[in-house]
Amino acid sequence: MKRPTILTLCALALLTLPLVACSSKKPAAESYSANISAYNHTEDYIHQFYVDGAGGGNSRPYGGGGSFVCCVSFPAKWRAGLHATVKWTTSSGIPGDTRPDAIKPRWHEKIVPIEKYDEPGGLLNVHFLPNNEVRLIISNKRAGAKDYPGPAYPVKPADWKW
C-alpha cells in the first residue's frame, strides 16, 4: 500500500481547517415563521395588506381569520422594540357606495409593535381596528379561542345592514 505524501497530508489539513473553525462558532439565534391571518374590525374593505413585505391577502368588513398566507419570520424569543411595518389598502365596504372617497382604495402604512409572546406561535394574527389602529399577535390560537391574548373575533354592529 502506498503511503500518503506530505503534500496530500497538507491538503487534507487545509480542507478540514474551515470545518473546525466553523464548529467553534455559536449557532445563530433561532427564528420561526408564522402564517399570516387578518381580522378586520372595521366597515372598510381591505383590498390587500403586507407585513414586512409579506403579502397577507384581503379581508371583508367585520370578518377574517378564515384563511392563512405564508409567512413572516420572527425571533424565537420576544424582545422589547420588536415591530413590523404593516401596509394596507382600504375602501368602503358598503356595497353600492359611490362616494368618490369610498371607491378609490387608500394606502395606509404603520410601524406596529409585535405584542409580547412567551413562546413562538404558528400564526401572526393581524387585527385591523377602527381609526387605522393595528395589533400584531403571534400565537397558536385564533381570535375567539379560549385564552386568546388579543381582541375577540370581529362582530358586526347591530345596525350594519351588509
For 90-150, give the DSSP string. EEE-STT---HHHHS-EEEEEEEEBPP-SS--SEEEEEEEGGGEEEEEEESS-TTSTT-SS
Amino acid identity, position 153:
Y
Distance between CA atoms of residues 23 and 17, nearest Å: 10
What average pLDDT score do residues 42-67 get? 89
Instruction: Starting at the earlier edge strand, list the strands of the sheet with 83-92.
Output: 54-59, 44-51, 83-92, 106-113
Per-residue pLDDT, averaged over 36-40, amounts to 94
Residue 26: pLDDT over 50: no
Which residue, among 3, 84, 91, 89, has the nearest Cα to 43 in the 3D structure?
A: 91
- What is the structure's pLDDT at 160? 82
Confidence of residue 104 (pLDDT cuts 50, 70, 90): confident
pTM summary value: 0.78
The terminus-to-terminus CA distance of the chain in angstroms comes to: 87
Q: For strand 63-64 and strand 106-113, is the pairing parallel, antiparallel, or unpaired?
A: unpaired
Percent of the chain residues past pLDDT 70, beyond the cut: 81
Query: What pLDDT is stored for residue 3 in this prediction?
Result: 61
The residue-averaged pLDDT of 74-98 equals 90
Q: Determine the average pLDDT of the residues in 77-94.
A: 92
Give 154 or 31, the one with higher predicted confidence: 154
Q: Would you state the pLDDT for residue 67? A: 66
Between CA 44 and CA 50 the distance in angstroms is 17
Amino acid 65: pLDDT:
74
DSSP letters of 65-86? -S--EEEEEEESS--TT-EEEE
pLDDT exceeds 80 at position 15:
no
- Among the residue ranges 64-68, 84-88, 126-130, 153-157, the one predicted with the least confidence is 64-68
The answer, yes or no, to whether residue 127 has pLDDT greater than 70, is: yes
User: Can you tell me which residue has the cell 404558528?
Assistant: 122
